[in-house]
Structure 1
Amino acid sequence: MNTMINGVGEAGEPDVTALLSVPEADLAALHARLAQAAADNGLLDVAYRTVDTPVGALLLAATERGLVRVAYEREGFDAVLDTLAARISPRILVAPKRLDVVALELEEYFAGTRHAFDVPLDYALSAGFRQTVQHYLPRIGYGRTLTYKQVAEQVGNPKAVRAVGTACATNPLPVVVPCHRVLRTDGSLGGYVGGLDAKTTLLTLEKAA
Structure 2
Amino acid sequence: MRWTVLNSPIGEFSVATDGAAVRGAHFGRVAAAVEQPVDELDRQVVAELRAYFAGEVTGFEMPVAVPRGSDFERAVWREMTRIPYGETLTYGEVARRVGDAGAARAVGVACNRNPIPVLVPCHRIVGAGGKLVGFGGGLDRKVKLLELEAGVALRRAWSGC
TM bin, normalised by shorter chain, reads: 0.7 to 0.9
Which runs of 5 or more structure 2 residues have no equivalent in the other structure? 153-161
Verify the 8 A CA contact 1:67 1:121 in the aligned structure 2: yes
> What is the deviation of 1:65?
3.8
Query: Is this contact kept in 2: 1:48–1:96, CA < 8 A?
Result: no
* CA displacement at 1:54 relative to structure 2: 0.5
Counting only pairs closer than 5 Å after superposition, residues 66-145 of structure 1 correspond to structure 2 as 66-73=21-28, 77-78=30-31, 96-97=38-39, 98-145=41-88
* 2:130 equivalent to 1:177: no
C-alpha RMSD of matched pairs (Å): 1.6
Pairs within 5 Å for 1:1-209: 46-73=1-28, 77-78=30-31, 96-97=38-39, 98-209=41-152
The aligned residue for residue 158 of structure 2 is none
Q: Kindly, what percent of the aligned residue pairs are identical?
A: 37
* Higher CA-based Rg: 1
The answer (yes or no) to whether the contact 1:68–1:125 under 8 Å persists in 2 is no
The amino acid of 1:48's aligned partner reads W
Deviation at 1:198, TM superposition (A): 0.5
Structure 1 unmatched runs, 5+: 1-45, 82-92
User: What is the CA–CA distance in structure 2 between the aligned matches of 1:154 and 1:53, rounded to whole Å?
Assistant: 32
Aligned equivalents of 1:65 and 1:193: distance in 2? 26
The structure, 1 or 2, with the larger RCO (C-alpha pairs under 8 Å, 6+ apart) is: 2
Secondary structure, aligned partner of 1:164: helix
The whole-number CA distance in structure 2 between the counterparts of 1:130 and 1:143 is 23
Matched length:
149
